[in-house]
Structure 1
Amino acid sequence: MAAQSFTPPGFLNERPDCIQEVFLNPGGFHFGGADTRIVTLLGSCVSITLWHPRLRVGGMCHFMLPSRGVIPEGGSYDGRYGDEAMKLFMGHIMRVAAEPEEFQAKLFGGANMFADIAQRREANVGERNIEMGLAQLERYGIPLIAKHLGGESHRKLMLDVWSGDVWLKQQGVSPSEMARARGRK
């Protein structure tokens, strides 16, 4: 599948001469300026991208689970959890003296990577991650302007902070990968 762009309408892409590329592993979080590109790979995990069109700052989180239940005292937040990843975003939003509703959010991921296994559980982790991402954006009043959620395949995601563009490439899981994941050869 070709890469798909989730570009803010009417915005000129002014690529900087020098780019800092950051790769997020699961649980990763990064917030940066207009010289930043953030990349990650998703399965059942979810990424939220936030971007401020006037300040040209933004970030991405890559959370694995909706919540661990209790957030520790003192603000030692863990990006592996959706509710805590949003707390990390809120800290950066405060540091740049902006309001949450001035940012644009895009939400990606939450694939059901092992459909036959997930059917035996109350709800699959991808669905729960999607629900948490949507709930957090609503809680903080951040407008969601694009999303690409669910399904049963991997996604490669790239945010260009200088423009707010988010690029997505989605790949299906091959039958041999599914058989290995199920313990068959």
Structure 2
Amino acid sequence: MKMPVGAAEVVLAPGQVSFATRPTRLRTLLGSCVAITFWHPQRLIGGMCHFMLPGRLRHDLPLDGRYGDEALELLLRHALINGTQVQDYQIKLFGGGRMFPDQPRDLRTQDVASLNIRAALDLAERYHLHLTAQDMGSTGHRTIMFDLWNGNVWVRHQPMGTLQHDAYQKNQRSAGR
């Protein structure tokens, strides 16, 4: 988890998208929101978005990172601007924790976390992204640290009603759950 000398650190707030072409650590805190990480293993460049909602009805406005479909579009544009192919990126998905697990749900209504998870998986399938890992669902929040110099994504997940874990765990979960 040690940063190389001169590496930058960027903290993403909800709705932000960041893409870097030099050694950078991208961090964010997720509840029901979802983060998508993009990493190019040969060029050691990539980015992350922190989206809050799957999408919006109006598409005549400028792209907005608060929405999953638009945040992904921003990441895709960064990949192309940097002369890379989207297929060459490793993609990981995180978040979608239910923050109010005791709230009743029925078949007609779903919580935002579930909608965000479904949107992230649908986007990955629609764009034929190379999904290498995911850690989504459950309850509570996740702290994410993504190191562009090696592609590692560190996750600290605190489910509702549990004590905080002492150490970050490197995300190595299979994308094929």
Instruction: Specify if TM > 0.5.
Output: yes
Decide which of 103, 107, 111 is 2:97's aligned counterpart.
111
CA contact (8 A) 1:118 1:124 kept: no
Which residue, out of 30, 33, 36, partners 1:42? 30
Question: Residue 125 in 1 paired to residue 112 in 2?
Answer: yes
**Greater RCO between the two (CA within 8 Å, min separation 6)?**
1
* Counterpart AA for 1:78: D
Q: Deviations over 1:79-122 (max 9, x none)?
A: 00000001101110111111111100000000111123251561
* Distance in 1 (alpha carbons) for counterparts of 2:101 and 2:2: 41
2:50 corresponds to? 62
Does the Cα contact within 8 Å between 1:71 and 1:84 map onto a contact in 2? no
Gaps of 5+ in 2: 163-177
Where in structure 1 do 4 or more consecutive aligned residues deviate above 2 Å?
Answer: 13-16, 172-175
Give the gaps of 5 or more residues in structure 1.
Answer: 1-12, 176-185
Change (3 A) 1:151 1:34: same
Aligned-residue offset at 1:15: 5.0
SS at match of 1:123: coil
**Larger CA Rg, structure 1 vs 2:** 1
In the other structure, the counterpart of 2:168 is none
Secondary structure at the aligned position of 1:89 is classed as: helix
Name the one with the larger helix percent: 1
* TM-score normalised per structure 2: 0.85
Q: Provide TM-score, normalisation by structure 1.
A: 0.81
Match of 1:30 among 18, 26, 37: 18
Q: How far is 1:135 from its partner?
A: 1.2
Q: Distance in 2 between matches of 1:72 and 1:59?
A: 25
Task: Report % sequence identity.
Answer: 43
The total of aligned residue pairs comes to 161
Q: CA RMSD, aligned part only?
A: 1.8
